[in-house]
């Protein structure tokens, strides 16, 4: 445990952050960095340039270089960091897979929040990685935190170290992480203006007020998100023991040789002798020298009974390894004896490492039953709000650990799910098509081995074709994906972007002429970044390209006319007209008024009675900013007389910290008797859409 210090500068806090080796210390120093640079925005486009310009040590610079390289390499896929812009993604679980998914979703431009129920990363167990996972981690800059990774044949890493590395990368890219917070359940939208929320413990945690558009369950094999069915795959009885011993990094510690994935078939002699000499009967043992001396072995039940580790035999595997049926002292002796024997007594001072409870780090568990989800995704729609959900990692498919597939397949499922988010947000496919594609990829996941994936690991991305030899895209039909959809508005379900029939079999309504959202808008500005730009540069440049009805820059007249024909065939169902986009432009006045009133309720002397004069002196905007980011504005210094100054201050912060372009100036407001109601509605709508559902 490190002594926590208060830092005087962001670079000093970054040094501590860099060295931190646990969840709570990493977050402690990261939060100091944010305070010291005056930004806690989680929007990558706003946050990343700020942190980057404030941290310029060589250690920091090498990370920025790596992040920029990764970003530029996948520039098209990330759509310049805007592929999932404004998509609010909740990830449950800061295990390796949840954090890996968070990084990709953040690169896609989503606003990502990770919830982790633990307060520390305490799992010492060491994981063998596939070569692709090592390349993937290196490409993210992991070697800046763990120089040994992938060097000198080191292809394993302790799970807590892996989590720490991924956590640091995620945080530097602007992912929001809450520790000590447990996801309990979903909270369904109660009306059209409040979207999907979740219930978290503790119940007063700020995350309870946040809204989400997508949820990724990465909470391990205990899978806590309701609504996903699965089955338990039963293999022959398999009992594993893990043991972690202190590695003092001394010459004596260096002596013993690692044992990598040895099975009984190859080491018949060793296991036979072990049994004769000690009574310990193993099917398998692995030993890695990492932060700890880590042993994992599969033991035969009879030898565990004979050596008194299991007290009473039962046919029922669940009760067999209940703590009351395991003699802990005998278990410790069993693990230590096996470890000493297989390393030929070369680790003479074996002392157990501490586990999260401060006890000897030894565990016995049954991996006879392995969880596999039935479906990889689903979408729930209520009161016009859609929530896309996906499972990744062990919550999707629990691995048979001796094959070392956990992280590899877990990362694949994280990539495939982020691909699903991208496809969903792009709006070129119906949600059912997107889910059918995701489910088709899930069907091939269990078959993935080190040997049958593409070998150019550096080219890997969330795009499935960059990794799989056969993406099997049509394995699940759109009609089959209907079961992944739970909606209170079945008449609005879109099947396929080609057949244009909805589930009820009726033809969709024709798109109305003059539909504001279907019209292409001229002169819209959109953040543009050239390939080769660093990630930091993407925020500043704009252009005025025309956009098509889907909000995409128009390409050529020929392709536009084709596009229009397709749209004419498929509109009627709202899938293309993403409801959030619709709300982005027009928010009903009553909704805005109620929301603004609630925002300023605790600010004495500031009231909202209408959408015009109430906003004129700028204090309402200042109060709203203060509610969400108190460090950005000093309310004591705001005086109602300084109309132009207050408004300019608020407009500046809203632009720089939240990316909302001003639609008027402070001077305009000071000179007008009453603010223009249309302009004000449009501007406040943007503020509302940016902040509603955020943590105040
Ligand atoms: P986890 O690592 O289980 O993380 C889930 C996270 O979610 C946890 O931090 C948990 O606290 C959090 N959480 C759970 N519920 C909630 C909630 N309600 N709210 C908030 N947070 C929640 N894999 C390999 O690749 N190579 C190996 O060599 C290997 N060896 C293994 C050896 C053993 C003995 C075991 C048991 C597993 C091994 N594995 C191995 C498998 C590997 O550990 C897992 O596949 C991997 O950890 C899965 O990562 P994950 O992120 O999906 O889930």
- Give mean pLDDT, residues 65-80: 96
What tens digit of pLDDT does each residue of 78-109 get? 999 999 998 999 999 999 999 999 999 999 99
Ligand 1 proximity of 224 Cβ (cutoff 6 Å): yes
What tens digit of pLDDT does each residue of 394-406 get? 999 998 877 789 9
Q: Is the pLDDT of residue 675 over 90?
A: no
Q: Are strands 485-487 and 377-382 parallel, antiparallel or unpaired?
A: parallel
Identify the pLDDT of residue 508: 36
Whether residue 379 sits in one domain with residue 326? no
DSSP-assigned beta bridge partners for residue 215: 90, 389
Q: Is the pLDDT of residue 409 over 60?
A: yes
Our mutation pick for probing the ligand 1 site, out of 22, 27, 91, 95, counting the most ligand atoms within 8 A of Cβ, is 95
Among 64-73, 417-426, 468-477, which is the least confidently predicted range? 468-477
Q: Of 456, 475, 494, which residue sits at a domain end?
A: 475
Q: Are strands 182-187 and 197-201 parallel, antiparallel or unpaired?
A: antiparallel
- Residue 362 forms part of a structural domain: yes
Identify the pLDDT of residue 497: 61
Q: Of 446, 475, 504, which residue sits at a domain end?
A: 475
Residue pair 394/406 in contact by the 8 Å Cβ criterion: yes
Residue nearest ligand 1's atom 52 by CA: 393
Ligand 1 proximity of 401 Cβ (cutoff 6 Å): yes
DSSP-assigned beta bridge partners for residue 342: none
Q: How many whole angstroms separate alpha carbon 569 and alpha carbon 553? A: 21
- Residue 198 forms part of a structural domain: yes
- Distances from the Cα of 476 to the Cα of 68, 126, 415, 444, 487, angstroms: 36, 36, 19, 11, 20
Query: Sheet harboring 88-92: ordered strands across?
Result: 176-178, 111-115, 88-92, 214-217, 385-391, 377-382, 485-487
What tens digit of pLDDT does each residue of 148-176 get? 898 877 889 999 999 999 999 999 999 99
Q: Tell me the three state secondary structure of residue 188.
A: coil
Angle at 530 between CA 528 and CA 535, to 5 degrees: 80
- Give mean pLDDT, residues 506-513: 36
Whether residue 160 sits in one domain with residue 108? yes
Whether residue 340 sits in one domain with residue 401? no
What tens digit of pLDDT does each residue of 572-587 get? 222 222 333 333 455 7
Among 307-316, 562-571, 613-622, 668-677, which is the least confidently predicted range? 562-571
Whether residue 288 sits in one domain with residue 158? no
Ligand 1 proximity of 402 Cβ (cutoff 6 Å): no
Q: Tell me the three state secondary structure of residue 382.
A: strand
Whether residue 594 sits in one domain with residue 616? yes
- pLDDT bin (cut points 50, 70, 90) of residue 591 is confident
Burial of 171 (0-12, 13-18, 19+ CB in 10 A): buried
Ligand 1 proximity of 33 Cβ (cutoff 6 Å): no
Q: Sign (positive/negative) of CA torsion 231, 232, 235, 241?
A: positive
Q: What is the CATH number of the domain that holds 636?
A: 1.10.418.10
- Residue 386 forms part of a structural domain: yes
- Give mean pLDDT, residues 685-693: 84
Q: Of 424, 453, 475, which residue sits at a domain end?
A: 475
- pLDDT bin (cut points 50, 70, 90) of residue 2 is low
Identify the pLDDT of residue 471: 85
HSE on the CB side for 323, CA within 13 Å?
Answer: 2
- pLDDT bin (cut points 50, 70, 90) of residue 142 is very high
Ligand 1 proximity of 406 Cβ (cutoff 6 Å): yes
Identify the domain containing residue 285 by its residue range: 236-367
Q: Is the pLDDT of residue 639 over 50?
A: yes
As a whole number, the mean pLDDT across the chain is 84
How many domains are contained in the chain?
3
- Give mean pLDDT, residues 672-678: 84
- Residue 254 forms part of a structural domain: yes
Ligand 1 proximity of 199 Cβ (cutoff 6 Å): no
Other Cβ atoms within 10 Å of 105 Cβ, number: 30
For residue 235, the CA-to-ligand 1 centroid distance in Å is: 20
Q: Is the pLDDT of residue 417 over 90?
A: yes
Whether residue 264 sits in one domain with residue 240? yes
- Give mean pLDDT, residues 650-672: 89
- Residue 577 forms part of a structural domain: no
Ligand 1 proximity of 66 Cβ (cutoff 6 Å): no
Other Cβ atoms within 10 Å of 438 Cβ, number: 26
Among 383-397, 553-567, 590-604, which is the least confidently predicted range? 553-567
- Distances from the Cα of 493 to the Cα of 49, 429, 508, 555, 580, angstroms: 40, 13, 10, 29, 17
For residue 96, the CA-to-ligand 1 centroid distance in Å is: 7
Q: What is the CATH number of the domain that holds 212?
A: 3.50.50.60
Whether residue 205 sits in one domain with residue 178? yes
For residue 123, the CA-to-ligand 1 centroid distance in Å is: 9
- Give mean pLDDT, residues 434-456: 94
Whether residue 677 sits in one domain with residue 602? yes
Beta-carbon contacts of residue 419 (< 8 Å; ≥ 6 apart): 438, 441, 462, 463, 464
Q: Which residues of 483-510 are buried (b: 16+ CB within 10 A; e: fewer)?
A: ebbeeeeeebbbbbbeebebbeeeebee
For residue 394, the CA-to-ligand 1 centroid distance in Å is: 6
Ligand 1 proximity of 551 Cβ (cutoff 6 Å): no
Residue nearest ligand 1's atom 9 by CA: 95
Identify the pLDDT of residue 563: 28
What tens digit of pLDDT does each residue of 255-305 get? 888 888 655 556 788 899 999 999 999 988 999 999 999 999 999 999 999
Residue pair 285/296 in contact by the 8 Å Cβ criterion: yes
Identify the pLDDT of residue 262: 56
- Residue 314 forms part of a structural domain: yes
- Give mean pLDDT, residues 539-560: 34
- Residue 52 forms part of a structural domain: no
Whether residue 405 sits in one domain with residue 361? no
Ligand 1 proximity of 81 Cβ (cutoff 6 Å): no
What tens digit of pLDDT does each residue of 172-230 get? 999 999 999 999 999 999 888 889 999 999 999 999 989 999 999 999 988 788 888 88
Q: What values do phi and psi take at 215, rounded to 5?
A: -130, 130
- Token pair of 189 as six digits: 């939208």
- Residue 21 forms part of a structural domain: no
- pLDDT bin (cut points 50, 70, 90) of residue 39 is confident
Ligand 1 proximity of 125 Cβ (cutoff 6 Å): yes
Whether residue 399 sits in one domain with residue 344? no
Length of the chain: 696
- pLDDT bin (cut points 50, 70, 90) of residue 463 is very high
For residue 67, the CA-to-ligand 1 centroid distance in Å is: 25
For the CA of 242, the closest atom of ligand 1 is 34
Whether residue 215 sits in one domain with residue 89? yes
Percent of the chain with pLDDT over 90: 60
Identify the pLDDT of residue 473: 76
Whether residue 97 sits in one domain with residue 197? yes
């Amino acid at each position: 445990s490190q002594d926590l210090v208060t830092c005087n500068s962001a670079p000093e806090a970054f040094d501590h952050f860099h060295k931190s080796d646990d969840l709570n210390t990493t977050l402690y120093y990261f939060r100091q960095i944010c305070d010291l640079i005056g930004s806690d925005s989680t929007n990558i486009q706003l946050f990343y340039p700020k942190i980057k310009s404030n941290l310029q040590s060589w250690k920091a610079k090498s990370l920025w270089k790596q992040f920029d390289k990764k970003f530029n390499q996948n520039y098209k896929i990330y759509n310049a960091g805007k592929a999932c812009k404004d998509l609010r993604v909740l990830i449950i679980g800061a295990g390796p897979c949840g954090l890996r998914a968070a990084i990709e979703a953040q690169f896609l431009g989503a606003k990502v929040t990770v919830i982790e129920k633990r307060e520390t990363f305490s799992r010492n167990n060491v994981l063998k990685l596939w070569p692709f996972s090592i390349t993937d981690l290196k490409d993210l800059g992991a070697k800046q935190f763990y120089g040994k990774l992938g060097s000198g044949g080191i292809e394993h890493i302790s799970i807590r170290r892996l989590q720490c590395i991924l956590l640091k990368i995620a945080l530097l890219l602007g992912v929001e992480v809450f520790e000590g917070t447990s996801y309990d359940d979903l909270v369904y939208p109660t009306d059209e203006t409040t979207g999907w929320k979740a219930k978290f413990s503790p119940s007063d945690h700020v995350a309870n007020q946040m809204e989400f558009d997508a949820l990724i369950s990465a909470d391990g094999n205990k899978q806590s998100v309701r609504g996903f069915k699965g089955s338990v795959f039963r293999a022959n009885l398999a009992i594993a023991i893990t043991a972690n011993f202190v590695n003092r990094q001394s010459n004596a510690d260096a002596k013993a040789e690692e044992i990598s994935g040895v099975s009984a078939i190859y080491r018949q002699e060793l296991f036979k002798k072990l049994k004769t000499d000690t009574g310990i009967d193993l099917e398998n043992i692995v030993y890695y020298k990492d932060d700890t001396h880590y042993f994992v072995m599969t033991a035969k039940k009879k030898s565990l009974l004979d050596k008194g580790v299991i007290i009473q035999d039962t046919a029922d595997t669940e009760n067999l390894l209940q703590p009351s049926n395991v003699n802990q002292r005998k278990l410790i002796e069993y693990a230590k004896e096996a470890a000493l024997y297989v390393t030929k007594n070369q680790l003479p001072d074996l002392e157990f490492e501490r586990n999260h409870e401060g006890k000897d780090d030894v565990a016995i568990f049954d991996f006879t039953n392995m969880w596999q989800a039935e479906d990889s995704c689903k979408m729930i729609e209520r009161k016009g709000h859609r929530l896309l959900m996906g499972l990744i990692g062990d919550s999707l498919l629990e691995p048979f650990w001796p094959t070392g597939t956990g992280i590899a397949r877990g990362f694949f499922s994280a990539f495939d799910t982020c691909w699903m988010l991208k496809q969903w947000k792009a709006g070129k496919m119906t949600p059912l098509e997107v889910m059918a594609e995701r489910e088709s990829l899930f069907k091939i996941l269990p078959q993935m081995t080190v040997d049958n994936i593409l070998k150019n690991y550096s080219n890997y991305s969330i795009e499935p074709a960059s990794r799989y030899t056969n993406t099997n895209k049509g394995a699940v039909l759109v009609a089959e994906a209907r079961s992944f959809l739970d909606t209170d508005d079945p008449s609005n379900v879109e099947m396929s972007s080609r057949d244009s029939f909805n589930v009820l079999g009726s033809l969709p309504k024709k798109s109305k002429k003059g539909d504001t959202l279907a019209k292409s808008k001229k002169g819209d500005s959109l953040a543009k970044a050239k390939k080769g730009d660093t990630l930091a540069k993407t925020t500043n440049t704009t252009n005025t390209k025309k956009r098509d009805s889907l909000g995409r820059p128009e390409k050529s007249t020929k392709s536009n006319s084709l596009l229009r024909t397709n749209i004419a065939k498929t509109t009627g169902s709202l899938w293309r007209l993403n409801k959030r986009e619709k709300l982005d432009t027009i928010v009903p006045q009553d909704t805005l008024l109620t929301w603004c009133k609630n925002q300023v309720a605790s600010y004495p002397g500031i009231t909202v009675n209408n959408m015009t004069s109430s906003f004129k002196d700028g204090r309402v905007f200042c109060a709203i900013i203060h509610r969400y980011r108190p460090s950005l504005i000093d309310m004591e210094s705001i005086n109602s007389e300084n109309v132009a100054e207050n408004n300019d201050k608020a407009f500046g912060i809203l632009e720089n910290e939240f990316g909302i372009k001003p639609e008027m100036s402070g001077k305009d407001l000071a000179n007008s008797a009453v603010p223009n109601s249309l302009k004000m509605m449009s501007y406040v709508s943007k503020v509302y859409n940016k902040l509603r559902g955020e943590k105040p």
